[in-house]
Amino acid sequence: CADRVSHFVQDVWSVFSPLAVKTGAVNLGQGFPNFPPPQFIKDAAAKSIGPDLNNQYAHPKGHLPLRKEIAATFSPLYGRKLDVEKNILVTAGANEAIFATLSAYLNPGDECIMMEPFFDQYEPNITLNGGKPVYVPLRLHHKKGAKVSDNDSAADWTLDIDELKAHITDRSKVIIINTPHNPIGKVFSAEELRAIGQVAIDHNLLIIADEVYERLVYGDKEHVRIATLSQELWERTVTIGSAGKTFAVTGWRLGWALGPESIIQNILNAHTRIVFCANAPLQFAVADALHEANKRNYYATQVSEYAARREKLLACFKDLGLRVTVPDGSYFILVDTSRIAIPADEWKEICAVPMPSTNRDWRVCYWLTTKIGVAAIPPSSFYSPENAHLAENLARFCFCKTEETLDQAVAALQKLK
């Protein structure tokens, strides 16, 4: 096969999801909801394939009714009137939006900066488009005076702006900012985004703002859209959103890119040649769902349900005496596994199992899945090989699951006591 794919080892999802199925473990690994999507979006989907022409290609930019609903939903959030012809592109999931953006902007050898840990699809999206990934870690700084048992907050993971600047070269072209963040659950503050944005302005970088978890922000935190912070930032930012994350339909593969006309036009040129258009009939369903969501106060209800799931899992880890990063957004919890006592014989057994990585976190997650009965994701998959050690004592658990599933996980995790 081609060099561009020959180095791809088996990805983390295709190891842990099948392993969870095979072993019957409760799957808190891959982040997909196992509760039903809202009835109104299922009803809309059932209707959407009725009219014959709905089943044919959509406009490459996306069906107009969906672009209109996206404009109606997001214009107030951006404080500007989004133009359905100029500022909106419907994509085959958020991932394709990112892929098409990188395809539209990277020349061979151009560099794309991302923060570690990063959602693992970013890296192949960069390299498949001829770019070079450049990594700058978010670092966890325990609060002053914190005890080893004290939880960290997602806000304790910070980017050192000087470290970011040190990674800028004359090939730097793009920076990806993911807020709310997978896997940390960090919600970047306006101040942090302004500082990163200033670096992007000073070095003429395109900003890809991956905001797919924008509707899942907890407590008194607020999601800040970097594109709204100044006209200069709007002009160099494409913001990516996801119907899958917004309406618990991750398999629909529908997302969108919002931004200024010139950027959207460039992405459209790539998108048209990659997929031509996104899934057509379900675009009508997402249009209806965006309309209904506002009428029904759906986002507030959804976030309170997620907050309860988050509380349940946080309470479980507290009870087990495991330190975690308390997420302010998204649906993941990073757990510090260093205090888990793993029996020596079981550890030896796990170490003999061939897996794509020998990092400690892979082995711990394999042990959690096979011996404890709860699947989690090893976060070193979200780091470059140089920095994978930063994740050796971490495991990522997701809480986008039914109450029943979470109760089963909590019951199984009692074995850690």
Residue numbers of the site for ligand GLN (CB under 6 A)?
A: 13, 30-31, 119, 182
Whichever of 58 and 249 has its CB closer to ligand GLN, that residue is: 249
The nearest distance, CB 118 to ligand GLN, in angstroms, is 11
Closest C-alpha to 236, from 197, 179, 180:
197
Whichever of 65 and 124 has its CB closer to ligand GLN, that residue is: 124
Whichever of 40 and 366 has its CB closer to ligand GLN, that residue is: 366
Q: Which residues on adjacent β-strands are paired with residue 377?
A: 396
Residue with tokens 């359905």: 84
User: In 3-state terms, what secondary structure has residue 15?
Assistant: helix
Contacts of 112 (CB under 8 A, 6+ apart): 102, 106, 122, 126, 131, 132, 133, 134, 173, 174, 175, 176
Closest C-alpha to 96, from 74, 116, 124:
124
Whichever of 64 and 275 has its CB closer to ligand GLN, that residue is: 275
Whichever of 31 and 327 has its CB closer to ligand GLN, that residue is: 31
Count the Cβ atoms, other than its own, within 10 Å of residue 185: 29
Whichever of 168 and 257 has its CB closer to ligand GLN, that residue is: 257
The nearest distance, CB 119 to ligand GLN, in angstroms, is 6
Instruction: Give the residue closest to ligand GLN by C-beta.
Output: 31
d(CA 135, CA 46): 43
Q: Half-sphere exposure of residue 229, counting CA atoms within 13 Å on the CB side?
A: 22
For residue 43, which phi and psi values (nearest 5 degrees)?
A: -60, -45
The nearest distance, CB 13 to ligand GLN, in angstroms, is 4
Whichever of 87 and 91 has its CB closer to ligand GLN, that residue is: 91
d(CA 10, CA 29): 16
Whichever of 119 and 399 has its CB closer to ligand GLN, that residue is: 119
Element (H, E) at 116: strand 111-116
d(CA 339, CA 239): 39
Query: Max CA-CA distance within the chain?
Result: 65
The nearest distance, CB 375 to ligand GLN, in angstroms, is 11
Count the Cβ atoms, other than its own, within 10 Å of residue 368: 29
The nearest distance, CB 344 to ligand GLN, in angstroms, is 31
d(CA 203, CA 232): 13
Residue type at position 111: E
The nearest distance, CB 341 to ligand GLN, in angstroms, is 27
The nearest distance, CB 10 to ligand GLN, in angstroms, is 13
Per DSSP, 337 falls in state -
Closest C-alpha to 124, from 99, 91, 97:
99
Whichever of 131 and 255 has its CB closer to ligand GLN, that residue is: 255
The nearest distance, CB 382 to ligand GLN, in angstroms, is 9
What are 364's two structure tokens? 């711990």
Whichever of 40 and 213 has its CB closer to ligand GLN, that residue is: 213
Count the Cβ atoms, other than its own, within 10 Å of residue 342: 17
The nearest distance, CB 76 to ligand GLN, in angstroms, is 27
DSSP conformation letters of 28-49: -SS----SPPPHHHHHHHHHHT
The nearest distance, CB 182 to ligand GLN, in angstroms, is 5
d(CA 250, CA 49): 19
Whichever of 188 and 397 has its CB closer to ligand GLN, that residue is: 397
Q: Residues 268-295, buried b or exposed e (16+ Cβ, 10 A)?
A: bebbeeebebbbbbbbbbbbbbbbbbee
The nearest distance, CB 334 to ligand GLN, in angstroms, is 12
